[in-house]
Each structure stands twice: as structure tokens, then as C-alpha cells.
């Protein structure tokens, strides 16, 4: 068994899988922006891969949609053609989710049968498989929240669904990056050992290790802050908060909207008040921008060439993302800009994860 080759093979597979997850998250964002998520009111894991093929089948699906509050209160009078437009978004979302599952399960089964999965990687792959199954259940749990009393899905469940998707995606990116570098550092241990024999060089090596720990702590903090900001965006989307206060930096008469802090208890304001959700997302985004710029220069101190290249990606991604966010808001969240903004968020998280992976070598 060639362990190094197997690790790289698994790394390439997980990189492809991560790319498919990236697309899935964007399709999910488009489904939310077009308010299409409740157009399919049943969960059929097997038969659901086939869309309606006859006029009678379309009428039957449309009839099911007419029974839920969203149609009765928001879309009464919708034509069949309009229903088909939102149906295809949700169908594509569910279909691509199934494809993502196959892209994970089939190569995993093939590698397992050929005994090409190193034991050290098994727990990580098992965790990804379990999380993927939980994500499917979470997706239906989210949809179910909008089928009885609400006209849309719960923003709490939407945020949970997005959070879990991001965790799975970032774990896949991290694992793929670590595995694809298998064997690249062969012989480095001997070199380090020789360096440590000299007193001065050992001290320099100790400073480098401490610097690496500082970089890991800094990048881990930036990743946590960016992750929190992205999840706060789920509450903005869930509350349709992007369709109010389409101006920047003001929100009405001031920087802080007049509706801020009106809900009781106080914590509900953060998660159920559209104006507060948008304001909090703005503040987090600007805070992360400035902290990332400061962290960029600090993390580059003593960094190697590879880490500097990845840090450059972080800086470019965060600046573009903030620009996309402001533009999306000013344009009242058109679907294309909303999806681009979500893609920008994924690029920021990806760049930070890859930078953290490099610092953790």
C-alpha cells in the first residue's frame, strides 16, 4: 500500500467533493432568495429525483403547494408557470444535494473495498458522512417549519442549516488540503533536527514555532469571526431584512435604525427584528474587515512564501466581499448579486481555512 499516494488520491476526491458542496450552498442561497424552498411540500428521497412529467402531475404538485400558508397568504393567484419557476429552484437544490451525497459515498465505498483508506483518516471521513446525513435531516426540518403556520421557514432553522453546511464544507477543504500535501515535507524533520543542534539556531527555531502558534491563534480567531458574520447573514435572509434600509452607511435618520432594541426579552431583538438583524450584520462585516486587514499584516510577519500567498487571498476576498455586500444592499438584493455575495462569503472562509491549514503545518 502506497500511503502517500492514497492520501493524495483521497485529497483530490475531497477537493472535488468540496467544490460540489460550494455549488450546493450557492444553489441553496438562490433557492432562499427566490423564496422557492417551500414549493415542494414532501420529502421523497428516491422517487423525488423525477420531476413532474405530465400536466396532471404538475397540477398535483401545484395543488399541494396551494394548501400551505405561503400560497394562501402571499402567492394566492399564482399561475402554474410561476409555480414551475420556483419549483425548479427547489428541485435543483434537492437534486444537487443527492449528487453531492453520491460524490461522497461512491468513491468512499470504492476506496474502502480496495483498502486504500489509511486508518488515521477513517474517523474524519466517518464524521463527514455522519454530518452529511444530519444535514439532510436538518434541511427537511427547516422546510417543515414553513408548511403549517408560517409563510416562510424559521430563520433559526435556516441559520442552523447554513451553519452545518459551512462546517461540512470547511472540514472537507481542510482535510483535502492536508492530504494533498502528503509527502511534500519529506526529510524536513532531519533538517530541523540538525538545526536544533546549534544553540543560536535552536533559539531561532523556537521563535519560529512561537510565531506559528501566534499565526494559528490569529487566523483561528479571524475564521471564527467570519463564520459568525456569515451565519448572521442567514438571519438577514430569513427575516428578509435585506429589503429594508437599502442605503449605506445610514439606516434611516441615523447609523442605528430607530427600531433597534424594541423587542423583549432583549435577545429576541438580535434574531427576530429585521432592522436589528441587518444592523448587526453590517457591524460584524465592517469589524471583520478591519480586524482582517490588521491581522493580515501581523500574520505576514515571519510567514513563509506559501502562507503569504494564502494571506493575500484572504485580503482580496474580504475586500471584495464587503464591496459585494454593500452593492447587494443598495440594489435591494437582486438574486444574482445575492448569490454572488454568498459566493464571496465562501471564498473568505475558504481562504482563511487554507491559511490556517498552512500555519498549522
What pLDDT, on a 0 to 100 scale, did the predictor assign at position 2? Answer: 63
pLDDT for 3 equals: 75
Q: In this model, does residue 9 exceed pLDDT 90?
A: yes
Q: Where are the domains of the chain?
A: 1-182, 210-361
Q: For residue 199, how many C-alpha atoms fall within 13 Å in the half-sphere facing its CB?
A: 0
Residues 6+ apart with CB under 8 A from 274: 236, 239, 240, 241, 244, 259
User: For residue 185, what pLDDT band results from cuts at 50, 70 and 90?
Assistant: low
The whole-angstrom separation of Cα 250 and Cα 240 is 18
| pLDDT of 197 over the 80 cut | no
The per-residue pLDDT for range 118-166, each reduced to its tens digit, is 999 999 999 999 999 999 999 999 999 999 989 999 999 999 999 999 9
Helices (H), the chain: 3-33, 55-65, 69-73, 80-113, 122-144, 155-180, 188-196, 199-238, 266-272, 274-300, 305-330, 335-359
Q: Which of 272, 45, 50 is nearest to 156 (CA)?
A: 272
Rounded to an integer, what distance in angstroms lies between the CA atom of residue 300 and that of residue 342? Answer: 27
pLDDT band per the 50, 70, 90 thresholds, residue 335? very high
Q: Is the pLDDT of residue 60 over 90?
A: yes
Amino acid at each position: 500500500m502506497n500511503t502517500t499516494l492514497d492520501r493524495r488520491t483521497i485529497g483530490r476526491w475531497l477537493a472535488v467533493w468540496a467544490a460540489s458542496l460550494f455549488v450546493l450552498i450557492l444553489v441553496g442561497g438562490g433557492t432562499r432568495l427566490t423564496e422557492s424552498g417551500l414549493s415542494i411540500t414532501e420529502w421523497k428521497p428516491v422517487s423525488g429525483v423525477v420531476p413532474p412529467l405530465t400536466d396532471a402531475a404538475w397540477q398535483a404538485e401545484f395543488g399541494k403547494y396551494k394548501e400551505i400558508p405561503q400560497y394562501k397568504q402571499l402567492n394566492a393567484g399564482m399561475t402554474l408557470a410561476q409555480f414551475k419557476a420556483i419549483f425548479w429552484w427547489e428541485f435543483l437544490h434537492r437534486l444537487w444535494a443527492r449528487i453531492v451525497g453520491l460524490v461522497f459515498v461512491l468513491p468512499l465505498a470504492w476506496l474502502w473495498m480496495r483498502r486504500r483508506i489509511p486508518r488515521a483518516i477513517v474517523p474524519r471521513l466517518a464524521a463527514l458522512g455522519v454530518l452529511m446525513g444530519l444535514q439532510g435531516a436538518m434541511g427537511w426540518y427547516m422546510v417543515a417549519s414553513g408548511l403549517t403556520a408560517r409563510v416562510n421557514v424559521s430563520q433559526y432553522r435556516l441559520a442552523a442549516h447554513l451553519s452545518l453546511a459551512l462546517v461540512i464544507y470547511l472540514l472537507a477543504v481542510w482535510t483535502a488540503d492536508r492530504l494533498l500535501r502528503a509527502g511534500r515535507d519529506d526529510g524536513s524533520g532531519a533538517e530541523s533536527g540538525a538545526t536544533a543542534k546549534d544553540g543560536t539556531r535552536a533559539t531561532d527555531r523556537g521563535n519560529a514555532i512561537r510565531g506559528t502558534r501566534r499565526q494559528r491563534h490569529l487566523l483561528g480567531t479571524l475564521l471564527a469571526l467570519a463564520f459568525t458574520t456569515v451565519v448572521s447573514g442567514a438571519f438577514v435572509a430569513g427575516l428578509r431584512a435585506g429589503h429594508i434600509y437599502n442605503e449605506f452607511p445610514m439606516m434611516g435618520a441615523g447609523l442605528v435604525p430607530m427600531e433597534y432594541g424594541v423587542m423583549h426579552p432583549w435577545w429576541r431583538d438580535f434574531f427576530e427584528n429585521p432592522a436589528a438583524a441587518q444592523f448587526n450584520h453590517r457591524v460584524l462585516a465592517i469589524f471583520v474587515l478591519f480586524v482582517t486587514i490588521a491581522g493580515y499584516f501581523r500574520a505576514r510577519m515571519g510567514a513563509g512564501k506559501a502562507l503569504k500567498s494564502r494571506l493575500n487571498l484572504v485580503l482580496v476576498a474580504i475586500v471584495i466581499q464587503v464591496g459585494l455586500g454593500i452593492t447587494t444592499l443598495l440594489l435591494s438584493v437582486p438574486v444574482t448579486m445575492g448569490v454572488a455575495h454568498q459566493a464571496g462569503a465562501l471564498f473568505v472562509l475558504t481562504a482563511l481555512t487554507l491559511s490556517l491549514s498552512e500555519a498549522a503545518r
